[in-house]
Amino acid sequence: MSGLLAVYRRELTAYFQTPLAYVFLAVFGFAAPAFAFHVGRFFDTNRADLAPLFDYLPWLLVVLMPALAMRAWAEERDRGTLEFLMALPIPLWASAAGKFLAAWSVAALAIVLTFPMWIAVNYLGEPDNAAIATGYLGTLLLAGAYLAVGQALSATTANQVVAFVLGAGAAFLLTMAGLPFVLAALGENAPALVTEFVAGLSALDHYNAFQRGVIGLADLVYFIGLIIVSLALAGVLIAERRGGGR
């Protein structure tokens, strides 16, 4: 655990030693309310809830989480510091988990920036605060899943732009997987088993359950499992490149 905490502190400090964290927080803090107010027509719904915010957050996370994850391993390989990190008496799993938790902490801070909207709806009416709380939990888990996938793909390249494109593409596919028109298209050309498998991969379906105020075991297992599998994959990919430079 001491190794994990050391990597966590190192990575968290690195985020705030560059403009990355500040730009990320500013963009998220501006874009999330903008989607809710202008695209989701927050005031036109005449309801005291955060549904317009939660409806559009997944699409914002598709872009911003890969941007936060792209530097995880790609930067280490590009700067030639991967060998130094691997030579430290820190287990590989601790390095992967420390990097993930640091990025997840920045993502959590960005999500906290939308809390004034939660205060506002309580001022305007009587919302279901339990449902809003589970919606935020779902958002945090979805952000973690996209970050973990993005960090796994960051381990495949030394180019941060390539890592971002790969991460955004994977997050987009996970988000699109459960949409009706995608399943309908698959249903016409693929076996039912394949269609059910693709539907089961849908991050959006599991996220929507939290948005409805339901914390289901299957949804928790999906997100936690996706995070663990992605971090394990990142560890395997980095282990294969141990001593291999870029």
Q: What is the pLDDT of residues 182-198, one digit of tens each?
A: 666 666 666 666 666 66
pTM, full prediction: 0.87
- Counting the structural domains of the chain, the total is 1
Classified as helix, coil or strand, 214 is coil
Residues 20-48 have a mean pLDDT of 77
Q: What is the pLDDT of residue 188?
A: 63
Predicted confidence band of residue 126 (pLDDT cuts 50, 70, 90): confident
**Residue 78 is part of which domain span?**
2-240
What does the pLDDT read at residue 243? 47
Inside any domain, residue 245: no
Amino acid, res. 203:
A
Across 56-70, b (16+ Cβ under 10 Å) vs e yields bbbebbbbbbbbbbb
Q: What angle do CA 224, 230, 166 make, to 5 degrees?
A: 125
Is the per-residue pLDDT at 218 higher than 80?
yes
In a domain, 246, yes or no: no
Of the chain, the percentage scoring pLDDT greater than 70 comes to 84
Within-domain flag for 65: yes
Assigned token pair, 65:
């989480």
